[in-house]
Amino acid sequence: MDIKLLKAKCGKENYEKLLALKNPSLVDFVIKYVALCNPERVFVCNDSEEDIRYIREEAIRTGEEKKLAIDDHTVHFDGYYDQARDKENTKFLLSKGVDLGPDINAMDREEGLKEIHDILKDIMQGHQLYISFFSLGPTNSEFSIPCVQLTDSSYVAHSENLLYRSGYEEFKRLGGSARFFKFVHSEGELEKGVSKNVAKRRIYIGLQEGIVYSVNTQYGGNTIGLKKLAMRLAINRASEEGWLTEHMLVMGVHGPEGRVSYFTGAFPSLCGKTSTAMLKGETIVGDDIAYLRKEDGEVRAVNVEKGIFGIIMGINKKDDPEIWEILHSPNEIIFSNVLIGEDNKPYWIGMGEEIPQKGQNYSGEWWAGKKDAEGNEITPSHRNARFTISLRNLKNIDERIDDPQGVVVRGIIYGGRDSDTWVPVEESFDWAHGIITKGASLESETTAATLGEEGVRKFNLMSNLDFLSIPLGRYIENNLNFGASLKNPPLIFGVNYFLKDKGGEYLNAVEDKIIWLKWMERRAHGEVDAIKTPTGYIPQYKDLKRLFKEVLDKDYSEEDYIKQFTLRIPENLAKIERIVEIYKTKVPDAPDILFEVLEEEEKRLEAAKAEHGDYIAPAVLDRES
């Protein structure tokens, strides 16, 4: 196809918008995929309110979203079998001789390109193609990466307008020099509004050319190119350039006298990442993806996004007052895969209120007790149902969100769902110890939200395992090197919101996590002492007692403290054994230092055990530290 045909599909106005970017390689890319996917027409979205509104209206016109009772609320449904990230069909396309190691899903590049281009042929026939431009990270910033998204889904384009900073002007500023990521998405043929050919769902990632293809799917994690698809490309680019792309929240933790200290935190899905970022009294920079760079001997971070694609299950008035309020007021929100009652309002499991017995959900018309084709009862909302909002609407948005320099990171947190091993909060001895024993040793127990047995520990280093586009060993090495040259690297902490007693009861209340943050903030400024244990530094009772009183007006008992912070040696030793086994057997390029640091930790634990037994109360360790 030549440029004339592109002009015909675009119409004069859209065509001129494209050419105004003065970027020949962008135009070549667009021509190639317009020719292949063969949409009926093309819409080019610039940063104007008018264009952004047009996409919103398109989502209603095409039926991809429906209006709800509250102004500016809409609902979108993904197909019944299209409710989560498809790990099996998400693959890196690798040239011969390139190997990312056994843990990363990859296939031959030529083969993959042929398959995906065959699927894309004429796939957009009769549909409109939306072309949108974004900036990952603040515009005009060294951190940021320009991106172009081609999609035939107005829901995807609309979601991206909520979640990412507009980048049309950024492309204009950069002209031909823009090193941009490219995303091509098609929901494919639709049946009752959802992707029909999910058996041919494919998400293929071309690292070499910085392009991701996603077809026959609608679920955001598979289709919103700038989210986890771009993250995979960015991990690769960061590795080449010496910075980090992390699955991390970024937040301002508010200390004494108006001080704000920034923390980043990595948690696997459903482990409290968004709710940590949204804690009352603190300020949010981002809840999912961060770029980290070193500047003047400090670590700086930006939020790649400007919105939240958050899990809605379990959000209730008591534990999440901030999000609750937003979800019930007239902000622009896309609810996905929730239950819509006869009152045209969204309902979800774990909302702490009565849910209607019938309505519309991700299975179509729904009633209590409805079963799917496999005989499983269909939940009112899907466990992975989500809400999409722009951070702009939040009262607790941090004022530095768009700072092109990013924010200075004082602490990095790693946390997973762990019923029996880690204490609620612990600081590592130094950068390497933290990266290895907290980040690279991160595990999380499966929940009812994933298929299969509950409570099974899954290894998930830095909560980034699903997205790594470089060999695991290299990724760990990059992390180690990143902090090694810093004079004052951020402190690294492990947290555990999910510790239980022997009877299976949680040892902490949901709101306690704010106390761990406040303690970490004080540690980052050297204002509180800590107890040295074989696995790191833990808080002293007196400091927590004071913080519980000050922040939550709670009387924190020494008995609770002892239960929560008792060092559990057998569990910690078993964990080290599991982690070492994984790295020995599955990560051929694991760095030696990883084994050394874990072995030293094991020795410290064995020595403590010989002296004090299997379970050691903090007071006993305090006497020694």
The residues binding Mn ion (CB under 5 A) are: 288
Does 245 interact with ligand SPV (rule: CB under 6 A)?
no
User: Segment contacting ligand SPV (CB under 6 A): 198-206, 221-229, 321-329, 354-362?
Assistant: 221-229
Pick the closer one to ligand SPV by CB: 29 or 164: 164
Please indicate whether residue 45 is annotated as part of the active site: no
**From the list ligand SPV, Mn ion, none, which binds 227 (C-beta under 5 to 8 Å, kind-based)?**
ligand SPV
3-state per-residue secondary structure call for 536-573: EEEECHHHHHHHHHHHHCCCCCHHHHHHHHCEEHHHHH
| C-beta of 223 vs 236, nearer to ligand SPV | 223
Residues 260, 262, 263, CA angle at the centre, nearest 5°?
140
Choose, by CB under 6 A, the member of 101, 137, 220, 341 that binds ligand SPV. Answer: 220
φ/ψ of 50, rounded to 5, equals -60, -45
Question: By CB under 6 A, what part of segment 33-92 binds ligand SPV?
Answer: 85
Given 46, 135, 269, 390, the residue binding ligand SPV (CB under 6 A): 269
- Of the residues 158, 202, 227, 523, which one makes contact with ligand SPV according to CB under 6 A: 227
Q: How far apart are CA 180 and CA 178, in angstroms?
A: 6
Output 181 or 309, the one with its CB closest to ligand SPV.
Answer: 309
Binding status of residue 225 toward ligand SPV by CB under 6 A? no
Q: How far is the CB of 437 from ligand SPV (least distance, A)?
A: 23
Q: How far is the CB of 227 from ligand SPV (least distance, A)?
A: 5
Least Cα distance to 89 among 110, 123, 116 occurs for 116
Q: How far is CA 494 from CA 397, 509, 579, in A?
A: 25, 18, 16
Phi-psi region of 267 (alpha: psi -120 to 50; beta: other; left: phi over 0): beta
Closest by CA to 260, choosing from 403, 392, 151, 142, is 403
When asked if residue 185 is in the footprint of ligand SPV (CB under 6 A), the reply is no
| Choice between 82 and 282, CB closer to ligand SPV | 82
Burial status of residue 344 (CB atoms within 10 A of its CB: 0-12, 13-18, 19 or more): middle
Output the smallest distance, CB 160 to ligand SPV, in A: 12
Least distance to ligand SPV, CB of residue 204, Å: 17
Contact partner, 214, from ligand SPV, Mn ion, none, Cβ < 5-8 Å per class: none
Closer Cβ to ligand SPV, 120 or 311, answer by number: 311
Binding-residue total with ligand SPV (CB under 6 A): 8
Helix ranges, 88-151 (H): 109-120
CA distances in angstroms from 332 to 307, 310, 524, listed in the order given: 11, 14, 37
Beta strands at 128-136 and 41-45: parallel, antiparallel or unpaired: parallel
Build a one-symbol-per-residue string for 280-309: x at contacts with ligand SPV by CB under 6 A, - elsewhere.
--------x--------------------x
Would you put residue 12 in left (φ > 0), alpha (ψ -120 to 50) or beta? Answer: alpha
Start-to-end CA distance of the chain, whole Å, equals: 73
Smallest separation (angstroms) from ligand SPV to the CB of 370 = 25
| Rounded least distance, CB 384 to ligand SPV, Å | 8
- Residue number of the CB closest to Mn ion reads 288
- Least Å distance between CB 188 and ligand SPV? 19
Stretch that binds ligand SPV, among 220-228, 359-367, 423-431, 520-528 (CB under 6 A): 220-228
- Do 181 and 84 contact (CB within 8 A), yes or no? no
The active-site residue out of 10, 37, 147, 271 is 271
Nearest distance from C-beta of residue 402 to Mn ion, angstroms = 21
The residue with its CB nearest to ligand SPV is 221
What are 387's two structure tokens? Answer: 């809400």
Pick from Mn ion, ligand SPV, none: which does 85 bind, CB < 5 to 8 A by kind? Answer: ligand SPV
Tokens of residue 155, six digits: 């829901």
Rounded CA separation 262/110 (Å): 44
543 interacts with, out of Mn ion, ligand SPV, none, CB within 5 to 8 A per kind:
none
Tell me the Ramachandran region of residue 514: left when phi exceeds 0, alpha when psi lies from -120 to 50, beta otherwise.
Answer: alpha
Nearer of residues 227 and 575 to ligand SPV, judged by Cβ: 227
Per CB under 6 A, does 221 bind ligand SPV?
A: yes
Residue 309's binding partner out of Mn ion, ligand SPV, none, with CB under 5 to 8 Å set by partner kind:
ligand SPV
- Residue in the structure block whose two tokens are 């008018």: 50
Q: With binding defined as CB under 6 A, does residue 228 bind ligand SPV?
A: yes
Q: What CA–CA distance (Å, rounded) separates 60 from 74?
A: 9
> Cα–Cα distance between 192 and 90 in angstroms, integer?
25
Q: Which residues bind ligand SPV (CB under 6 A)?
A: 85, 220-221, 227-228, 269, 288, 309
Which are the catalytic amino acids?
A: 271
